Structure 1
């Protein structure tokens, strides 16, 4: 599902802007359990199946989670 969101942002030339848009979308619209699951997946696998800006977005979410803990 995260890669599908990333596909929406694929037309954005600036990958950092795309990653931020993806991060904001996930924070606003995903249930906290879904966010926790994708962050856990990222921490376990490095986000191997996540595409470019999606991986960057999830990495930022993971960093936010770590900073709050």
Structure 2
């Protein structure tokens, strides 16, 4: 997790912010939208590749948000 560690921490921090959202689907969408909006494509590709390789260190909500991002964001899959 060495090079991707900071991205994992940031994704988990974003997920922690959305954790208080009562609607789970809205929370997942919020995580994905935040990453899409504020992370550059290279960062999105790295976190998606990390998830595809098992996603070590990603919390459940962060994991779901990154997976949702990959569905919606071609840059995350490139």
TM-score, normalised by the number of residues in structure 2: 0.73
What do you get for the CA RMSD once the two structures are aligned?
A: 1.7
- Determine whether 1:53 maps to 2:61: yes
Which segments of structure 1 move beyond 3 Å, counting only runs of 4 or more?
none
TM-score, normalised by the number of residues in structure 1: 0.82
Structure 1 spans left out of the alignment, 5+ residues: none
Deviations 1:15-51 (A, max 9, x none): 2110100100000000111000000001111x24211
Aligned residues: 66
| Aligned position for 1:29 | 38
